[in-house]
């Protein structure tokens, strides 16, 4: 009985191996497969086998690749992988700001910090290109990043950073004292010379405080802070790891990003300047 079981297992493994080899050698669809159809784009459908996938492109091209690699219908070189090289750098720290790397008709796409030069497409011939560059050349589409677990942030073009307008109420007699405004985990938002910070929802009569927004809006703390600075002008970037000073209309936002790991936030009026005691 056990011998028969091993024979059956051997036959199944042999069939899987034979199926995969014939698909790779002759660019055939695997016999044992599931078809995954795409609505538009470069790929018509994929025949997904156990060890290999056959990509059937809308331009008539077809190629079979081993799972773990991807294929671009517009790239003649064939196989590639996507890499986040920051994961190979010990204690990697990047500047705290969204970095846009791509856009399509509906969305803007961002890295969660300034790291575009580390986000790489590596081809099977050893050559490398930036993911942002290959996307713009339309050699791959944005869905390929999901396959390789490359994390990114996307916002609809018509809504990102257009929901709120920031208004500040300044103190009458400013003594430049730091006031702890909001605490999130090991990060603190400080105000300087301000009584309050309000967010006015555009196209609405609603006005809320920044504190209420941070506590109740269903989004990450980083995104809420980025909404304050995305439209602002970068006034300067410090050589302490990447602390950035933003200026916008009548307010200033200092976003700490030190080598020691300080990521506090300082918000003040247009005259706010970085002081030696900040970001410590």
**DSSP states of 37-78:** E-SSSSEEEEEE-SSEEEEEETTS-EEEEEBTBEE-TT-TT-
State which residues form the domain around 204: 164-269
| Position 263 in a domain | yes
Residues 40 and 91 both lie in one domain: no
Residues 35 and 16 both lie in one domain: yes
What average pLDDT does the segment 128-154 reach?
A: 86
Residues 171 and 235 both lie in one domain: yes
Residues 145 and 101 both lie in one domain: yes
Residues 171 and 257 both lie in one domain: yes
| Position 75 in a domain | no
Residue 274 has pLDDT above 90, yes or no: yes
Compute the half-sphere exposure of residue 110: CA atoms within 13 Å on the CB side of its CA.
18
CA 244 to chain centre: 20
Residues above pLDDT 90, as percent of the chain: 24
Average pLDDT of the chain, as a whole number: 82
| Position 277 in a domain | no
What average pLDDT does the segment 240-262 reach?
A: 90
| Position 134 in a domain | yes
Which of 156, 178, 201 terminates a domain? The answer is 156
Residues 258 and 170 both lie in one domain: yes
Cα torsion 60, 61, 64, 65: sign: negative
Which of 27, 42, 67 terminates a domain? The answer is 67
Residues 104 and 189 both lie in one domain: no
Residues 189 and 254 both lie in one domain: yes
| Position 40 in a domain | yes
**Closest listed residue to residue 98, CA positions, set 143, 154, 164:** 154
Predicted pLDDT at 158: 46
Q: Among 50-64, 69-83, 175-189, name the one with the lowest average pLDDT.
A: 69-83
Number of domains in the chain: 3
Predicted pLDDT at 11: 84
| C-alpha distance from residue 130 to each of 103, 115, 125, 134 (Å) | 15, 11, 15, 6
| Position 280 in a domain | no
Q: Which two tokens stand for residue 142?
A: 């944005």
Strand partners, 48: 34, 53
Residues 187 and 249 both lie in one domain: yes
Contact 86, 118 (CB under 8 A): yes
Q: Among 43-52, 67-76, 97-106, 266-275, name the one with the lowest average pLDDT.
A: 67-76
Which of 13, 45, 67 terminates a domain? The answer is 67
């Amino acid at each position: 009985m056990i011998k028969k079981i091993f024979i059956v297992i051997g036959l199944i493994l042999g069939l899987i191996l034979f199926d995969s080899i014939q698909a790779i050698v002759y660019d055939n669809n695997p016999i044992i497969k599931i078809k995954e159809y795409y609505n538009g784009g470069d790929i018509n459908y994929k025949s997904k086998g156990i060890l290999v996938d056959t990509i059937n492109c809308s331009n008539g091209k077809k190629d079979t690749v081993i799972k773990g690699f991807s294929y671009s219908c517009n790239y003649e070189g064939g196989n590639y992988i996507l890499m986040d090289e920051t994961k190979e750098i010990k204690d990697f720290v990047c500047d705290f700001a969204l970095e846009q790397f791509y856009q399509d008709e509906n969305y803007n796409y961002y890295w969660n910090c300034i790291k575009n030069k580390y986000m790489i497409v590596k081809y099977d011939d050893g050559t490398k290109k930036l993911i942002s560059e290959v996307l713009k050349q339309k050699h791959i589409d944005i869905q390929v990043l999901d396959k390789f677990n490359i994390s990114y942030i996307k916002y609809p073009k018509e809504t990102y950073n257009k929901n709120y307008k920031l208004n500040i109420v300044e103190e009458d007699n400013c003594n430049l004292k730091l006031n702890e405004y909001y605490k999130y985990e090991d990060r603190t938002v400080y105000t300087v010379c301000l009584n309050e910070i309000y967010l006015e929802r555009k196209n609405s009569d609603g006005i809320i405080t920044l504190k209420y927004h941070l506590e109740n809006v269903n989004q990450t703390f980083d995104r809420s802070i980025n909404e304050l600075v995305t439209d602002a002008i970068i006034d300067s970037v410090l050589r302490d790891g990447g602390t950035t000073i933003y200026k916008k209309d009548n307010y200033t936002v200092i976003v700490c990003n030190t080598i020691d790991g300080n990521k506090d936030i300082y918000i003040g009026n247009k005259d706010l300047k970085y002081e030696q005691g900040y970001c410590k």
